[in-house]
Amino acid sequence: MNIRKTLSKEAIALNLQGHDKNSVIEEMVDILVAAGKITNRKAALKAVLEREKKMSTGMQNGIAIPHGKTDTIDSLAVALGLKKEGLEFDSLDGQPSVIFIMTLSPINRTGPHIQFLAEISRQLNDPVLRERVLNAQSPDEVINVLAGD
């Protein structure tokens, strides 16, 4: 999976403003809209919130991966946001989330979505890499870290 092809600097926010789970999810959907990755905000937001109701996407080690599937897009859309002070996201380990990766994918295509989640999860398991992402000074730097540069 080529991070540079999947994640664009326009879809990265270094300082999320949301104050709770739903506002961060909305903010990340808005980032995808502003980046031109999705056009139907309402359908995208509904897909992510419905998925979140089933089970929290707050993982471990400060990572949350809210995601959803919608028939309103043709290919995988990815946004990444940072909230250095952390946010309660009903994570598996009970810790606040600081790195948020949102994916939206077409209902009928699971391959790219699964590949991306597996790759980004593998990378973010590394505490040094997580720290480098959190300390990045620009979206370009985030991409360089995740791309292994």
> Annotated catalytic residue: which of 21, 37, 67, 69?
67
Report helix, strand or coil for 112. helix
Distances, alpha carbon 35 to alpha carbons 31, 49, 130, 143, in Å: 6, 20, 24, 15
CA-to-CA dists, residue 128 to 123, 132, 146, angstroms: 10, 6, 12
The span from the CA of 75 to the CA of 6, in Å, is 10
Q: How many residues does the chain have?
A: 149
Active site residue 19: no
Q: Which two tokens stand for residue 37?
A: 């990755």
- In angstroms, what CA-CA distances link 116 with 4, 13, 148? 12, 19, 15
Catalytic residues: 67
